Amino acid sequence: MIRGAKLTIEGITKRYGETAALNDVHLEVTPGSYVVVLGPSGSGKTTLLSILGGFTPPTEGRILVDEIDVTHLSPVKRPTTTVFQDYALFPHMTVAKNVGFGLSMHGIKGEESSARVARALELVGLPGTGDRHIASLSGGQRQRVALARAVVIEPRVLLLDEPLGALDLKLRRQMQDELSEIQRSLGTTFVHVTHDQEEAMSLADIIVVLRDGRIEDQGPPDRLYLRPATRFSATFMGDSNLVQGVAGQSIGERVSVETSFGTFLVGGEAPVGARVALAVRPEHLRIDDVGDLLIGEGRVLGRHFIGAHQRCRVEIGDQELVLNAPAKPPLGEGQIVRVSVDADDVVLLQDGSSEAL
C-alpha cells in the first residue's frame, strides 16, 4: 500500500488581472483521505486542482506535501499525478504503453515496468488488455486506463479533474464504487474535483465547497448535508426549503425564531433580532401533524412520482415548500395536507435574507 501524503494549502490566491479565481484558500488534507472539491462553474475548483498539480502558478500562497514546499516545482517533480477530464491518452499507443508512459519518464523500464503496468491494469479491472489500442476501448475502459496510468507511478497525492464527467449515469455510479475501492486499496491521498453533489457524497471523506474562489463550507458529507453551515451550502448540497425569520430569546441550547408560519424553537445560536433562515430538507417534512413543529395546512400544487417517494410542491400561506412524501397513497393536485417537521431536522442559518428561493 502507498502511504498517502499530507497536503497543506496555505493562503492560495490566483488572480487574472483584476479577477480573483481563488482568494486566500486554506486547507489541510490528512494523509490517505479522499477529499472532493465541489462547486458550481466559476467557483475556482479546477484552478485549485491545476495549482496543486503544478500546471498553474499561484499569485500568492504555498502548497506543501508532507511539509515540503512544492509550490514552484514542475508537475513531473511533484509527488502528485493528475487524471484529466478528457483522459489525455495517446491514441497511437497500446494500453500498456499508455499506462507505462509515466514509468519511462521516471527511468523505469523492462521487467519492472511490465510488472507494474500489469498490476495497475488488474487494479482498475482491465487485466490482459495491454495489447489493445485505445480506439478499441469504451469510454469507461478509457477512464480506467487513465486511472491506471496515474496510479502506476505510485503518487503520494492523486488529483482527479471531473474524471467521471463523460460517462453515462449507470457507468458513472459503477465507477464511483470502483474509485472508492481503489483509493482504499492504494492508501493514496485523493483530491477529486466535481460539480456533482451526489458524486461528492458517494466518494468523499471530506467535501470542500467552493464559492467565488473561497471555501464556503467543509466537512464530512453527512455534516454538510444535514447541518450545512451557510445558506449557500444548504441550497447547493441538495434541495432545501428556506424559511425566513427573526431570532428571539434563547432557551437553553435552542432559539425561538419568529416566521410567517409561527414561532419555532430550534437548535442553534443567533443574537436577538438577527435575521435568520431555517433550512429544512424535503425528506424531513412530514405529511401529518405529529412532528415537533407544526408548519401548517397547505394545498398540493403538484406531485411527481419518483419511485421511492413522491415529490410534492405544497403552498402554505404565501410560501411554496418542496417535500418528499411516501410513495403511497398518491397525493392529488389541490389536496389539503397538514405539514410538520421534527425540531432536530431544522437547521438555523445566520445568513438569512428576504430573498425568496
Whether residue 192 is found in the same domain as residue 245: no
Residue with cell 442559518: 349
Q: Which domain-ending residue is among 231, 250, 283? A: 231
**All cell numbers assigned to 280:** 429544512
Q: Are residues 214 and 271 located together in one domain of the fold?
A: no
* pTM tops 0.85: yes
Residues 12 and 120 in one domain: yes
Q: Are residues 93 and 196 in the same domain?
A: yes
Of 236, 234, 242, nearest in space to 356 by CA: 242
**Residue 224 DSSP SS3:** helix
Q: What is the pLDDT of residue 353?
A: 46
Residues near 172 by beta carbon (within 8 Å), at least 6 away in sequence: 164, 199
Same domain, 251 and 307: yes
Could you read off the pLDDT of 333-355 as tens digits, one per residue?
999 999 999 999 999 998 644 33
> In whole numbers, what is the pLDDT of the chain averaged over residues?
92
Can you give the pLDDT at residue 312? 96
Q: Is 28 left (phi over 0), alpha (psi -120 to 50) or beta?
A: beta
Query: How far is CA 18 from each of CA 23, 212, 318, 321, rounded to the nearest angstrom?
Result: 12, 14, 42, 40
Q: What is the pLDDT of residue 208?
A: 98
Residue 94 resides in a domain? yes
Rounded-to-integer distance, Cα 299 and Cα 287, Å: 11
Number of compact structural domains in the chain: 2
Q: Is 1 domain-assigned?
A: no
Same-domain status, 190 and 286:
no
Gap between the Cα atoms of 93 and 154, Å rounded: 21
Assess contact for 117 and 104: CB atoms under 8 A.
Answer: no
Distance separating alpha carbons of residues 134 and 87, to the nearest angstrom: 11
CATH of the domain at 122: 3.40.50.300
Tell me: do 65 and 16 sit in the same domain.
yes
Single-letter residue type at 298: G
For residue 156, pLDDT over 50 is answered with yes
- Give the residue-averaged pLDDT of 172-194: 90
pLDDT tens profile 85-111:
777 888 888 999 999 988 888 888 898
Which among 286, 290, 268 has a CA at the least distance from the CA of 277?
A: 268
Whether residue 329 has a cis bond before it, omega within 30° of 0: yes
State the average pLDDT over residues 77-88: 87
Task: Report the alpha-carbon distance of residue 73 to residue 325 in Å, rounded.
Answer: 54
Closest by CA position to 182, among listed 174, 293, 233, 310: 174
Do 263 and 114 reside in the same domain of the chain? no
Q: What is the pLDDT of residue 351?
A: 63
Is position 2 within any domain? no
Distance between CA atoms of residues 337 and 316, nearest Å: 10
Is 169 contained in some domain? yes
Of residues 222 and 142, which shows the higher confidence score? 222
Whether residues 73 and 176 fall in one domain: yes
Domain boundary residue, one of 203, 231, 259: 231
Residue that terminates a domain, selected from 163, 197, 231: 231
CATH code of the domain containing 290 = 2.40.50.140
Instruction: Kindly list the distances between the CA atom of residue 14 and the CA atoms of 63, 127, 177, 198, 261, in Å, as whole numbers in the listed order.
Output: 13, 42, 33, 28, 45
Residues 227 and 245 in one domain: no
| Cα–Cα dist 246/256, whole Å | 9
DSSP secondary structure letters along 283-344: GG-BSSS-SSEEEEEEEEEEEEE-SSEEEEEEEETTEEEEEEEESSSPPPTT-EEEEEE-GG
Tens of pLDDT, residue by residue over 34-73, are 999 999 999 999 999 999 999 999 999 999 999 999 999 9
* Range(s) of the domain holding residue 169: 7-231
Same domain, 152 and 224: yes
- 262 and 119 inside one domain: no
> What pLDDT, on a 0 to 100 scale, did the predictor assign at position 23?
97
Whether residue 357 is contained in a domain is answered as no
Nearest partner of 183 among 165, 166, 163, judged by Cα: 163
